[in-house]
Chain A
Amino acid sequence: MSADVSDLSLVRRVQGGDKGAFDALVRKYQHKLVKLVMRYVRNPAEAEDIAQEAFIKAYRALPQFRGDSAFYTWLYRIAINTAKNAVVSRDRSPIEYNIDRSSDAAEESYDMQGRMKDSETPEGLVLTDEIRRTVNAAIEALPEDLKTAIVLRELDGLSYEEIAAAMDCPVGTVRSRIFRAREAIDRRLREVFEGGLGRTEDLA
């Protein structure tokens, strides 16, 4: 099975004029893309702006996407170029901060910048921390076979087939274990939002 078949089915829908399918791609890759951009800028808000710009560029260029490479690989290149251009246009090099500072001091500076931006939305910061705590707690509470399956998938990036070989079980069992793990975590996550800390659509 092609590693990109699911993304490609969404891409084909976008190419056919379905903007909702592009929304699904954005929801799937937004975190990954922001993390990628943060190699170039340490401010999360700025990284989100650049990621947004990269997504829009990708949407405009999507008619030229042929599917020769994986969608995320293609998106990755667009994001990298957008981030580099943003850094250059703002006359700000990522290593500029290291001048006359120790690396620890520079890291502290980045963190301060990020937190200052985050402080503009304190409820967002609380929610993010709550989400992380909930997910981590839910993973710890999982039965061992479900936890192993989801970790091998998400953390180690193994395919279902590779996980099946590692856990000595059929691929269908792997798919079921990963799904049940996600459901268990998602159930806890929904409680967080329904408990008043936020709304589910905020995750969009």
Chain B
Amino acid sequence: MNEELDSQLSAMFDNELPASECELLARRLSRDEELKARWSRYAAISATIRAEGGARLNANLAVRVSEAITAEPTIDAKPVAAPVQPSRTAPRWWMPVGGVALAASVAAAAILFLRYESPVQQVAQTVPVTSATNQTLVARSVAPAVADSYTVPKTLPRRSIVPSTQLANYVVAHSEFSSPVNRRNLLSAFMASESGTAGTPSGSDEPTEDVTDDAKSPH
């Protein structure tokens, strides 16, 4: 017998033969009885050295298994290589229906989002309706809030029921120069401006942390 072939067989027995050589030798081993007999003796030598004395070295276990396997149906299925993607097994008609359902879900989410956001915009829109004398002041105090809304995460503005001390003092100081209706409008404007500034980026690290977490999370 070819010495190179026997050397390959010895390495294959030890699981030390390169994969490229294994395929060819495995094919030959499964058919060549002389090679199989040598392979069996290698196993007997191994068992003896390892003192696997419980097994009878002349046991014809392989013959018995081979006879039993002969009666078994031949495996003709492909090996399970990886989990099958569900989309491959799904009927084709699910694909357009699924697309429509996905689009509907996105649309519904968008509507809900807009409805959720609308109170903030309504508050902002009420501000310019105030009297002409207060429009400049209101515009100054409201403008930063509108500008911030592009950079600050959308949060439901908290409406402070009681204005801050500074604002209250301002209203009281100017109340004698205005009519009761204007005082009320001014107070409303300040409250609106207060709510607008409630979302200023006091904790600006928070979104940054979120992004960092997303980047860290495996996809």
Q: Which chain A residues have a beta carbon within 8 Å of chain B's beta carbons?
A: 1-24, 26-32, 34-35, 38, 44, 47-48, 51-52, 55-56, 59-60, 62-67, 118, 124-125, 127-128, 131-132, 135-136, 139, 150-151, 153-155, 159-160, 175-176, 178-179, 182-183, 185-186, 189-190, 198, 200-204
Contact = CB atoms under 8 A, between A and B. Distances in A.
B42 A59 contact: no
A27 B57 contact: no
> Sorted from nearest, which 9 A-B pairs have the closest CB atoms?
A20-B30, A31-B47, A34-B55, A9-B22, A38-B54, A21-B30, A179-B10, A135-B48, A154-B49
Contacts of B27: 13, 18
Given A35-B52, A44-B56, A204 B10 contact: no
Given A12-B26, A34-B59, A52-B65, 17 more contacts: A9-B26, A10-B29, A13-B27, A13-B30, A21-B26, A28-B13, A29-B43, A30-B55, A52-B64, A56-B65, A135-B44, A135-B48, A151-B49, A200-B40, A203-B41, A203-B58, A204-B62
A175 B41 contact: no
A19 B62 contact: no
Interface stretch (B72-80, B102-110, B146-154): B72-80
Interface in B15-50: 15-19, 22-23, 25-27, 29-31, 36-50
**Interface size for chain B: under 10, 10 to 19, 20 to 34, or 35 or more residues?**
35 or more
A39 B12 CA distance: 28
Given A19-B69, A30-B61, A124-B58, A1 B30 contact: no
21 contacts: A5-B17, A6-B13, A9-B22, A10-B30, A15-B75, A20-B30, A30-B43, A34-B55, A44-B55, A52-B68, A118-B56, A124-B56, A132-B48, A135-B45, A151-B49, A154-B45, A154-B46, A160-B14, A176-B7, A179-B11, A186-B42
Contacts of B49: 135, 139, 150-151, 154-155
A79 B62 CA distance: 15
Contacts of B212: none
The A interface, classified by DSSP as helix, strand, loop or mixed, is: helix
Given A23-B66, A30-B55, A190 B41 contact: yes
Nearest to B78: A15
B60 interface: yes
Nearest to A134: B48
Given A31-B47, A124-B56, A56 B37 contact: no
A127 B48 CA distance: 13
A1 B16 contact: yes
Tell me the dominant secondary structure on chain B's binding face.
Answer: helix
A14 B56 contact: no
A63 to B, nearest CB: 5
B74 A132 contact: no
Contacts of B7: 175-176, 179
Given A26-B62, A63-B79, A155-B50, A31 B43 contact: yes
B41 A60 contact: no
B40 A35 contact: no
A158 to B, nearest CB: 10
